[in-house]
Amino acid sequence: AVLQLFKERLGEVRDLLYDVTGCHPVTYADTRLTGQGEVPVERVLTNASVYNSTSLKRQCLDYMLFFPYVSPLDGENGHEPVVPATCQIQKFSVDRSKDVGAPVTQLSDHYGLEGSLAIIESPAYLSAQRPEQRSRGTDV
């Protein structure tokens, strides 16, 4: 619903993590299956009551949205100067072997999202003549 609202009001929008994974992965109140059943992955930072509710646990609350470049000139089909390159979940886990006694297993109650962008130089920029650069501090 929110993405549709963005599209209607702002134009094209991309959900980068969804583009990579094909789903909206868990970023909050994650659980894992063990011999004792479903157990919380993180028990300190997230309120325990969250794990008792199917609607509150295992949610995707974190997104990385990308709004592609739109040329200000009508009809111009220019190249896109910045494009998404990567997007992934970063759990920011605490290494309990190094941080002995740390009460937490991760740095936040949410997983983080990590992404990178690629800058694409246009053919016009690459072929443009540039003035010769002088070294600083020389008045030759």
Q: What is the pLDDT of residue 136?
A: 65
| % of the chain residues with pLDDT over 90 | 61
- Distance, in Å, from the CA atom of 55 to the CA atom of 1, rounded to the nearest integer, reads 18
Question: What is the average pLDDT value for the chain, to the nearest integer?
Answer: 87
Whether residue 54 is predicted with pLDDT greater than 60 in this model: the reply is yes
pTM of the model: 0.75
**Residue 17 Cα distances to 81, 112, 129, angstroms:** 21, 11, 39
- Residue (of 14, 135, 106, 116) closest to 63 by Cα position: 14
The pLDDT assigned to 99 comes to 81
User: So what's the pLDDT on residue 123?
Assistant: 73
Annotate 59-68 with b (16+ C-beta within 10 A) or e (fewer). ebebebebee
Confidence of residue 1 (pLDDT cuts 50, 70, 90): confident
Checking if the pLDDT of 122 tops 80, the result is no
| pLDDT for 140 beyond 60 | no
Beta strand 37-40 pairing with 14-15: unpaired
